[in-house]
Amino acid sequence: MDNLRKTWPLYRSMLRAFSSENKVKTKFDFKLAENISENINSGMLKARHFPGALDVGCVTLPDDLMQAATIALAGFPQKNLEQDAQKLSSYINSRHPPMEENEYKEKLAEVVETVKQEETIDPMSPGLVEEERKRLLDSRRSKVYEKMKRETYKWKAIDYNEYKSAAYVVARLAPDFASLTKLLREIKKRDPEFCPVHLLDFGSGVGSSMCG
């Protein structure tokens, strides 16, 4: 345990780095109430003290969570793991959710209609020999396939083995824990009596919500 404890600063700095690198920059679109805007402009109300401002301070990983992460990561090379965690983090952040079935059908119908409009000969025109009709229909299907391939996001599940799971811990443990902690603190700020008894941890992750 003493040897593991000596590695805590190393992993803590690595996890903290990923926490800061994965901050999400969000653009808010809102309009202040007229009286609030006037009070801010006149100096009667300071923006930093506005009741809607989010300010929960710096979130740090608790020691028991840090210890669990250190034990889980102890058998992996730190430098390689850090590099691969960065790649995994970038890939995760670039992903989009898969299309819903109805969305896919709507997009497919749109693409089919576009391809049809670009055709100079309707494959279903009377008088076409069967061989020519088949060639035109095959060409349409091919164009639809290629266009759908270009214009729709191809979602693919990530196959997590032991090493990739460790990289996920490095990439997502700190930012996920920080997000959940800030969320719960903001709820507590608005409702001082907020004291949940049950917790449903729904989704994919490392269960950092259990330590929030």
Domain ranges of the chain: 2-95+161-211, 101-151
pLDDT tier at 7, thresholds 50, 70, 90: very low
Q: What is the mean pLDDT of the chain?
A: 81
Each residue of 20-43: pLDDT tens digit? 554 544 455 567 777 777 777 887
- pLDDT, position 144: 95
Of the chain, the percentage scoring pLDDT greater than 70 comes to: 78
Closest CA to 46 of 55, 36, 54, 56: 36
Instruction: With a cut of 80, say whether residue 2 has pLDDT above it.
Output: no
Asked if 16 and 174 count as a contact pair (C-beta separation under 8 A), the reply is yes
Coil/strand/helix, residue 152: coil
Helix (H, G, I), strand (E, B) or coil at 168: helix
CA distance 6 to 1: 9
- Alpha carbon distance, N-terminus to C-terminus of the chain: 24
Q: What digits encode the pLDDT tens for the residues 90-112?
A: 998 888 888 899 999 999 999 99
Dump pLDDT digits (tens) for 144-179.
999 999 998 888 888 899 999 999 999 888 888 888
pLDDT in tens, 57-77: 677 788 888 888 888 888 888
More confidently predicted of 36 and 197: 197
